[in-house]
Amino acid sequence: MNQDTFGGYLKACRVKQELAIQTVAEKTKIAIHCLKAIEENAHDRLPPQAYVKSFIRTYADAVGANADVAAELYLSDLQRRENAEQHKLRRREKLWAVRQSMVAAGVILGIVFLLRYTDFFMAAAPLPNTAPPERMTPSETPASGAEAAADRTSAAKPQATLKLQVNAVEQTWLKVIVDGQNARSYDLKPGDRLELEGTHGFNLMIGNATGLQIFLNERPVKIFGSSGQVVSLKIP
């Protein structure tokens, strides 16, 4: 068990105290899936940073750990992840620049080749065929305009759009992943409203189960949970 991470440190303290994770969830009022995400250092399954620091301190107090140490390990892990992401972005930018240079060089070489050998190809080209075109038989007649239009319509048929409407009735935070893309976080107050669109689906983490009303394509989505409970939804 790696105690150099915030999750490993807290889990080690919990195991040392012989506490089940269900017991910690009951003492802290934090959902089990959030506690597991903390122990696994799974940032993508955790709520926004401000809430995570509060959860970590509450967890530490419940298992007899040092809350300051746990919070510092969490911030250090965030910094490591940010540095790794920046390094990855810089590497991608360098690869992109090299690729663009190679493409530009290929285009220039292609132009030079065409300019150099155009005369040769033109001289070697056969004379155009002046024979009259063959007449089409009925079986070779092109498709009618209506059939061609139907084919184009079928090929260009767009994917159905999923429209998600979120209405806040109580204060809560919300974390949303649309079509498996990057997560977005929101702090919502009563009366706030969000409208999101996707093609495949939505993954939601809600800080207060009774804080939101959700509609998918104008149809209500049921949210199970009590006031203040953190819940996760996958829609549809």
pLDDT tens digits, residue range 187-222? 999 999 999 999 989 999 999 999 999 999 999 999
Tell me the C-alpha distance between 130 and 123, whole Å. 19
4 and 118 together in one domain: yes
Residue 206 contacts residue 212 (beta carbons within 8 Å) = yes
Count of domains for the chain: 2
Within a domain: 78? yes
77 and 181 together in one domain: no
Query: Last residue of some domain: 124, 142, 176?
Result: 124
pLDDT of residue 123: 59
Instruction: Please list the ranges in the chain whose pLDDT falls under 70.
Output: 1-2, 117, 119-158
pTM: 0.46
Tell me the C-alpha distance between 146 and 95, whole Å. 48
Phi-psi region of 230 (alpha: psi -120 to 50; beta: other; left: phi over 0): beta
Within a domain: 66? yes
Domain span at residue 193 reads 162-235
174 and 59 together in one domain: no
Q: 131: which DSSP letter?
A: S
In DSSP terms, 198 is beta-bridged to 162
Half-sphere exposure of 160 toward its Cβ, with a 13 Å CA cutoff? 6
What tokens does 173 get?
């935070």
Query: Last residue of some domain: 101, 124, 147?
Result: 124
Tokens 């017991």, residue located: 23
pLDDT of residue 3: 73
103 and 205 together in one domain: no
Within a domain: 98? yes
Query: Last residue of some domain: 124, 145, 174?
Result: 124
Coil vs helix vs strand at 188 = strand
pLDDT of residue 82: 85
Beta strands across the sheet bearing 202-206: 183-188, 172-178, 202-206, 231-235
35 and 103 together in one domain: yes
pLDDT of residue 135: 58
Amino acid at 102: M
